[in-house]
Amino acid sequence: MLDKQLESQIRKLWDRFWSGGLVNPIDAITQMSYLIFMKRLEDEDNKRQQEAGFSGEKWSRFKSQAALLWSSPCRRGREISKRGI
């Protein structure tokens, strides 16, 4: 059973997909999976970067592509506006 906050967030996301014209549930699940993957990828990168900092090494999978990060407001805004979500 999902907790209420997570369930609410999923419903809001589904409503955004629906209002943007994405009515096929399979497509919506695919998009949600992609968003979760991108978030987890950045979390892993941040973790490895922090661990590398302890040893004095430099680490960033996205060093030259900061606009592609999940946390980049310009990336999220641009992607959302493209889809109308």
pLDDT value of residue 23: 86
Assess whether pLDDT exceeds 50 at residue 5. Answer: yes
Please report which confidence band the pLDDT of residue 84 belongs to, taking 50, 70 and 90 as the band edges.
very low
Q: Rounded distance, CA 85 to CA 14, Å?
A: 10
**Residues 46, 71 contacting (CB under 8 angstroms):** no
**pLDDT confidence band for 20 (50 / 70 / 90):** confident
Task: Categorize the per-residue pLDDT at 85 as very low, low, confident or very high, splitting at 50, 70 and 90.
Answer: very low
- Alpha-helix residue ranges (DSSP H) falling in 1-85: 4-19, 25-55, 73-83
pLDDT in tens, 21-40: 888 889 888 888 888 888 88
